[in-house]
Chain A
Amino acid sequence: MTVVIGFEGSANKIGVGIVRDGVVLSNPRRTYITPPGQGFLPSETAKHHRGVILTVLKEALQQAGLKPADIDCVAYTKGPGMGAPLVTVALVARTVAQLWGKPLLGVNHCIGHIEMGRLVTHANNPTVLYVSGGNTQVIAYSEHRYRIFGETIDIAVGNCLDRFARVIKISNDPSPGYNIEQMAKRGKQYVELPYTVKGMDVSFSGIQSYIEEAAHKMLGSGQCTAEDLCFSLQETLFAMLVEITERAMAHCNSQEVLIVGGVGCNLRLQEMMGTMCKERGAHIFATDESFCIDNGAMIAQAGWEMFRSGHVTELSDSWITQRYRTDEVEVTWRD
């Protein structure tokens, strides 16, 4: 039996999860929620994490019913993400690893999402769409790397949604994306937006500034409602994502899609991806918010795979990094 504890805090969630051989024993989490119209900034987010991390760690151990001695490895997010929150979490992971005499393991956040998705859905070798507030990538596994087939060339899809939510002052509780999704259900007309697929890549910053301007003009004059804009934005963004995912599937001869990352819990995205998969005779895998949204167990699960295949991170190499591409990691735990 191998027990790994995982620490995650690269964005506005702080989570500690414990995984034992594919079973999630505990996975407590806290979210830093900002007022409507405001995003989360690095130093404030780090302050939030710092205030709750030791409580969340205690909860993780209690809920799992484990003592530190039962743990085999301490995994934490090395990157990518916001610097100050990453450091806060890494400090605690380094300290407890030394106090408990356990090896430390730095995990790539994106790999955490992929491995958690594979564990929960039992998808074997899926084409992965990783969509969140900081990342947008279409990924497929080949020759010991998670290779990026397509990605955003500017901002992440979740960032585009979050920023739009700020413009029209949608609540950030529980998340701006969730509230946009609910409002979109009440949208009645489609407002045409730029559609910016560039080969295998996508671009969202132009759509974001276009809809920001449209919101000011059209909402003021009553030409459309906020709900219409939420609906139109979702349809446009998700159509782009489905298009590049389908192209990656065709390229890799893949019959499976796995959606991970915070935006992945959007049911409309899952529905649109499902329609495409049905037409191709492919299978879609998605998880609910407990594993799609950043959490500690995903870092523990990727850490479990890495630790079992012989990875550890020396303390001197345990620096965090804001930039850390998915394809930098050699995937030694898969054939």
Chain B
Amino acid sequence: MAAPCNEDPAKLEFSLLVPFPSAREATIALQSLSPDREPRKGGISKELSILGSAMSVKWTADEARILRVSVGSFLDHLALVLETMEEFGPPLTLIHRK
């Protein structure tokens, strides 16, 4: 939800929770999605973390316009990572455990 940020009421906050079958898959997605920095220099920041077997993403932004672009492109990237995991997964370590 886009809502005023707790720490700085002038900023917008957006949070996303993406469930995965296990923490392993959530970690793979996080490590695939986190290396590239935001293209613009200021005005937006994004934090990715693992919560149980889910990936949590939190944005804080100065303007809704910038937030929309960043969230939109993140969701596109996420969809590609999920599709890749579906077609070329499951992760090796999970197969071994079975």
Shortest C-beta distance, B45 to chain A (Å), equals 16
Q: Decide yes or no whether B63 CB sits under 8 A from chain A.
A: no
Which residues on B sit within 8 Å (CB–CB) of A92? Answer: 80-81, 84
Chain A interface: which size bin?
Answer: 20 to 34
Tell me whether B91 is interfacial, beta carbon within 8 Å. yes
Interface flag for B89 (CB, 8 Å): yes
A50 contacts partner chain B, Cβ-Cβ < 8 Å: yes
Question: Is B32 within 8 A of A95, CB to CB?
Answer: yes
CB pair B28–A98 under 8 Å, yes or no, is yes
Residue from the list A53, A96, A99, A318 in contact with B35, Cβ < 8 A? A318
Q: Find out whether the CB atom of A99 lies under 8 angstroms from the CB atom of B36.
A: no
Cβ of A99 and Cβ of B28 under 8 Å apart?
A: yes
On whether the beta carbons of A101 and B77 are closer than 8 Å, the reply is no
Residues of B within 8 A of A273 (CB): none
A316–B37 Cα distance when bound, in Å, is: 11
- DSSP majority for the B interface? helix
Residues of chain B lying within 8 A (CB to CB) of residue A318: 35
B91 touches A99 (CB 8 A): yes
Q: When the two chains form the complex, which single residue of B28, B37, B39 contacts A95, counting CB atoms closer than 8 Å?
A: B28
Shortest C-beta distance, A52 to chain B (Å), equals 12
Q: Which residues of A contact B34 (CB under 8 A)?
A: 316
Query: Which residues of A, 303-326, contact B by the 8 Å Cβ criterion?
Result: 315-320
Q: List the 10 closest A-B pairs by CB distance, nearest first.
A: A94-B32, A101-B92, A95-B84, A98-B28, A319-B35, A315-B31, A95-B32, A318-B35, A99-B91, A99-B89
Q: Beyond the given A100-B92, A316-B35, could you list 11 further A-B residue pairs with CB under 8 A, ordered by the A residue number?
A: A50-B76, A58-B87, A83-B39, A87-B77, A90-B35, A95-B32, A98-B32, A99-B92, A100-B88, A315-B32, A320-B36
Interface residues of B (CB under 8 A from A): 28-29, 31-37, 39, 76-77, 80-81, 83-85, 87-93
